């Protein structure tokens, strides 16, 4: 069964922020907010759980570092021992300074790319996916807040209008 | 207004007295003849069973070899290259004597430089905040101004030590010894730059420039408190921008003069940056620590966790910047393996293994892992603990820059070295907290002060 939501549009991020605080204070459930740019502190105001993407990023970095170390140990030391900078020691540890830039780059590469991919997966985004935002103006200059309705239409309408919403819409949420 | 608590003042004096006694002990226990020097080293080896720390290269058997290997310092620097083999015994004794006589001086110099450098790093940070018209930091300006009050006395102490070297009271700088220069073509070629009068004049120019900026920026900052317009603020902006230009040049040259020239054959083109990174991170760490201390005593009520968080971010970021420069310097020299360059790191890895690699752990791996988490940067005690390790790490960084060329493999972090730290720490605390009492802790008429008070990450 589809549930009903009320959509309030704002045209300023500060107005939106204070509206979010009002709505939260009145104990209504905010389903989702669509903004044209990241609004600082919005996640905290909405009461969202803190992001865990930083932890994944650290773990991906560790994977990248491990890949770099094993890869270079195989390529440069074991499979085809290389004379590095006139130091034919053929020991990974003794040639380590030469490998540090690659270790750094692969750590960053893995952390960054896998973190972005994780973010896409978690946000259910993939190429050619139809946009989910209910109003195209949220990609331009408007902010949209969706609040769940439970037979309290009039009350919510009054509250949202009072918080400075420039437009109110009631739709079915799929 | 801040009042200097009696307990802290007493602590500062105790540190100074204990440190001074230890330094005096260091000077008295230095040998005055070659025989004494030889006896001291022989004793030490019977006593400590060769097991002490990583002092392995100090083993008596290796000494003969060392004198040959230390191309950059041992043979050439003392003009011994042409000495016949049978004379080696005596010249080795003389070399050892110089190293042991240098030890208390080097301990004094490293500590004096380290605390001066903290203050200079803070001055640069302060000038950047002024020139960038940063909105988050004005609530910390008085703390920074307090710390920079140590710059003039600290730099003058360093200057006195340099001048004493110039008058041959010690042998920290081998190029100041005419006997050495006479036998050393490389130093002769650099004599136009590396000569005592020019060296001391340059030092006065650097110190004069820094102290002048420190004096005027402090003056305008206090005048702004009671001003009716922003003219003092604007003046401060202008002199800060000018100072940063002067600072970048003078700091680089200072690092060549005061540090790099202890190894007069060796040079590195990014040395100035490298020393700058060290002073910058130490300075920021001290700002964070003093801010947290004052907050814990009930002052600086307008400083919130976000300010501490930002300082901790700088500690983290500049620690990594320092590592980047350290590695850039190390890797190129290690890779190319050119004898006159690589001798710098060969000496350090052979004779200074523990401080050399220990410093990397303390200055890079530790802050990287500890300060990575965003929440930890807001925990005051966490920042203090991380700060202590970073400061010790950067002391060892300076130690590694000065000691190999001045005391060679005779280094030890003993009474003289620790006393040096204690003495200058005491003096630093006394001067800095005394300066903090001189003005209100809030620069209340700064145009950005409201933004800074409400700074929220």
Q: Is residue A75 over pLDDT 60?
A: yes
Q: Is residue A82 over pLDDT 80?
A: yes
Q: What percent of chain B has pLDDT over 90?
A: 73
Range B84-111 average pLDDT: 78
| Sign of the dihedral defined by the CA atoms of residues B207, B208, B211, B213, in that order | negative
Contacts of A85 in chain B (CB under 8 A): 334-337
| Cα B434–chain centre separation | 22
CB B72 within 8 A of CB B406: no
Rg value, chain A, Cα: 25
Q: pLDDT digit string (tens) for A110-138?
A: 999 999 999 999 888 888 888 888 889 99
Q: Is residue B78 over pLDDT 80?
A: no
Phi, psi (deg, nearest 5) at residue B10: -60, -45
Range A145-160 average pLDDT: 87
Q: Is residue B430 over pLDDT 80?
A: yes
Which residue blocks in B167-230 are alpha helix, DSSP H? 178-182, 185-190, 196-226
pLDDT band of A2, cuts 50, 70, 90:
low
Distance from CA of B272 to the nearest CA of A (A): 22
- Which residue of A lies nearest to B337 if distances are taken between CA atoms? A85
Q: What does the pLDDT read at residue B221?
A: 95
Indicate the angle between helix axes B88-132 and B380-406, nearest 10 degrees. Answer: 140
Q: What does the pLDDT read at residue B53?
A: 40
Which residue blocks in B297-414 are alpha helix, DSSP H? 305-336, 339-351, 353-360, 366-370, 380-406
CB B292 within 8 A of CB B307: no
Phi, psi (deg, nearest 5) at residue B267: -150, 155
Distance from CA of B279 to the nearest CA of A (A): 25
Q: What percent of chain B has pLDDT over 70?
A: 89
Are B331 and A86 a contacting pair at CB < 8 A?
A: no
Q: Is residue A1 over pLDDT 70?
A: no
Q: What does the pLDDT read at residue B69?
A: 42
Q: pLDDT digit string (tens) for B255-297?
A: 999 999 999 999 899 999 999 999 999 999 999 999 999 999 9
| Sign of the dihedral defined by the CA atoms of residues B165, B167, B171, B177, in that order | positive
CB B298 within 8 A of CB B304: no
pLDDT band of A88, cuts 50, 70, 90:
confident
Range B135-162 average pLDDT: 96
Q: Rounded distance, CA B238 to CA B220, Å?
A: 11
- Complex prediction ipTM: 0.78
Count, residues in chain B: 457
Give all strands of the β-sheet with A143-148 in edge-to-edge order.
Answer: A30-34, A143-148, A3-10, A167-173
pLDDT band of B50, cuts 50, 70, 90:
very low
Q: What does the pLDDT read at residue B368?
A: 92
The half-sphere exposure of B108 on its side-chain side, counting CA atoms within 13 A, is 24
Q: Is residue A171 over pLDDT 60?
A: yes
pLDDT band of B87, cuts 50, 70, 90:
very low
Q: What does the pLDDT read at residue B79?
A: 42
Residues 350-379 of B with CB under 8 A from A: 372, 374
Q: Which of A38, A35, A46, A42 is nearest to A9 (CA)?
A: A35
Are B330 and A97 a contacting pair at CB < 8 A?
A: yes
Q: What does the pLDDT read at residue B254?
A: 96
Contacts of A86 in chain B (CB under 8 A): 337
Phi, psi (deg, nearest 5) at residue A173: -100, 130
Q: Is residue B60 over pLDDT 80?
A: no
Q: Which of B150, B231, B145 is nearest to B442 (CA)?
A: B145
Range B143-154 average pLDDT: 96
Q: Rounded distance, CA B204 to CA B188, Å?
A: 24
Q: pLDDT digit string (tens) for B21-41?
A: 999 999 998 888 888 888 877
User: Which one of A41, A58, A100 has the shortest CB-CB distance to B331?
Assistant: A100
Best mutation target, B330, B332, B333, B334, to test chain A (most A CBs within 10 A):
B334
Best mutation target, A57, A94, A97, A98, to test chain B (most B CBs within 10 A):
A97
Q: What does the pLDDT read at residue A130?
A: 87
User: Cβ-count burial of B126 within 10 angstroms (0-12 exposed, 13-18 middle, 19+ buried)?
Assistant: buried
Contacts of B334 in chain A (CB under 8 A): 85, 97
A85 touches chain B (CB under 8 A): yes
Residue A119 host element (H or E): helix A96-122
CATH class of the domain comprising A3-49+133-173: alpha beta
Contacts of B123 (CB under 8 A, 6+ apart): B144, B148, B151, B210, B213, B214, B247, B283
Contacts of A131 (CB under 8 A, 6+ apart): none
Indicate the angle between helix axes B271-296 and B231-258, nearest 10 degrees. Answer: 130
User: Which one of A58, A86, A101 has the shortest CB-CB distance to B337?
Assistant: A86
Q: pLDDT digit string (tens) for B124-139?
A: 999 999 999 999 999 9
Q: What does the pLDDT read at residue B452?
A: 92
Range B13-22 average pLDDT: 95
Mean pLDDT of chain A: 90
Integer angstrom CA distances of residue A30 from A1, A160, B138, B385: 19, 12, 38, 41
Among A122-136, B322-336, B377-391, which stretch is predicted with the lowest mean pLDDT?
A: A122-136
Please give the structure tokens belonging to residue B361: 């752990």
Please give the structure tokens belonging to residue B116: 């001066």
Q: Is residue B121 over pLDDT 80?
A: yes
The helix/strand/coil state of A67 is helix
B407-432 burial, b at 16+ Cβ within 10 Å, e below that, comes to bbbbbbbebbbbbbbbbbbbbbbbbb
Neighbours of B160 (CB within 10 A): 11
Mean pLDDT of chain B: 88
């Amino acid at each position: 069964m589809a549930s009903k939501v009320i959509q309030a549009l704002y045209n300023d991020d500060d107005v939106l922020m204070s509206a979010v605080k009002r709505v939260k204070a009145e104990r209504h459930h905010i389903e989702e907010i669509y903004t044209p740019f990241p609004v600082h502190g919005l996640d905290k105001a909405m009461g969202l759980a803190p992001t865990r993407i930083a932890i994944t990023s650290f773990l991906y970095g560790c994977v990248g570092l491990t890949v770099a170390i094993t890869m270079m140990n195989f390529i440069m030391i074991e499979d085809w021992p290389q004379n590095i900078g006139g130091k034919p020691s053929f020991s990974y540890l003794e040639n380590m300074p030469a490998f540090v830039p690659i270790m750094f780059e692969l750590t960053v590469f893995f952390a960054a790319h896998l973190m972005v991919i994780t973010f896409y997966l978690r946000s259910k985004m993939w190429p050619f996916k139809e946009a989910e935002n209910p109003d195209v103006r949220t990609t331009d200059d408007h902010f949209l807040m969706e609040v769940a309705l439970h037979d309290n239409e009039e009350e919510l309408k009054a509250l949202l209008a009072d918080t400075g919403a420039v437009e109110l819409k009631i739709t079915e949420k799929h | 207004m801040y009042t200097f608590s009696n307990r802290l003042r007493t602590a500062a004096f105790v540190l100074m007295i204990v440190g001074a006694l230890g330094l005096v002990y260091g000077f008295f226990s230095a040998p005055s003849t070659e025989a004494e020097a030889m006896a001291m080293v022989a004793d030490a080896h019977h006593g400590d069973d060769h097991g002490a720390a990583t002092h392995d290269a100090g083993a008596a058997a290796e000494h003969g070899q060392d004198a040959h290997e230390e191309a950059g310092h041992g043979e050439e620097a003392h003009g011994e290259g042409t000495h016949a083999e049978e004379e080696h015994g005596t010249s080795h004794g003389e070399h050892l004597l110089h190293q042991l006589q240098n030890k208390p001086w080097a301990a004094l110099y490293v500590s004096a430089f380290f605390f001066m450098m903290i203050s200079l790093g803070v001055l640069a940070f302060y000038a950047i905040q002024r020139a960038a018209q940063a909105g988050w930091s004005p609530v910390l300006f008085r703390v920074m101004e307090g710390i920079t009050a140590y710059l003039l006395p600290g730099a003058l102490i360093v200057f006195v030590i340099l001048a004493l070297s110039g008058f041959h009271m010690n042998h920290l700088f081998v190029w100041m010894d005419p006997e050495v220069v006479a036998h050393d073509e490389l130093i002769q070629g650099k004599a136009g730059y590396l000569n005592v009068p020019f060296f001391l004049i340059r030092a006065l120019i650097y110190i004069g420039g820094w102290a002048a900026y420190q004096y005027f920026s402090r003056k305008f900052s206090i005048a702004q408190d009671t001003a009716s317009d922003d003219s003092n603020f604007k003046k401060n902006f202008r002199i800060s921008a000018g100072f940063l230009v002067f600072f970048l040049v003078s700091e680089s040259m200072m690092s060549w003069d005061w540090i790099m020239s202890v190894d007069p054959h060796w040079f590195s083109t990014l040395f100035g940056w490298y020393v700058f990174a060290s002073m910058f991170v130490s300075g920021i760490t001290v700002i964070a620590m003093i801010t947290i201390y004052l907050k814990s005593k009930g002052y600086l009520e307008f400083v919130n966790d976000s300010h501490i968080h930002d300082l901790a971010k700088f500690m983290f970021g500049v620690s990594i910047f320092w590592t980047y420069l350290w590695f850039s310097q190390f890797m190129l020299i290690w890779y190319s393996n050119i004898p006159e360059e690589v001798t710098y790191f060969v000496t350090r890895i052979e004779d200074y293994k523990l401080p050399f690699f220990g410093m990397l752990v303390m200055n890079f791996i530790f802050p990287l892992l500890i300060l990575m988490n965003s929440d930890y940067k807001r925990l005051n005690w966490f920042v203090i603990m991380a700060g202590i390790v970073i400061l010790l790490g950067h002391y060892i960084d300076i130690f590694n820059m000065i000691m190999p060329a001045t005391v060679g493999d005779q280094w030890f972090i003993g009474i003289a070295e620790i006393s040096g730290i204690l003495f200058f720490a005491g003096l630093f605390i006394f001067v800095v907290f005394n300066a903090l009492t001189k003005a209100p802790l809030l620069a209340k008429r700064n145009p950005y002060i409201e933004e800074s008070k409400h700074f929220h990450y």
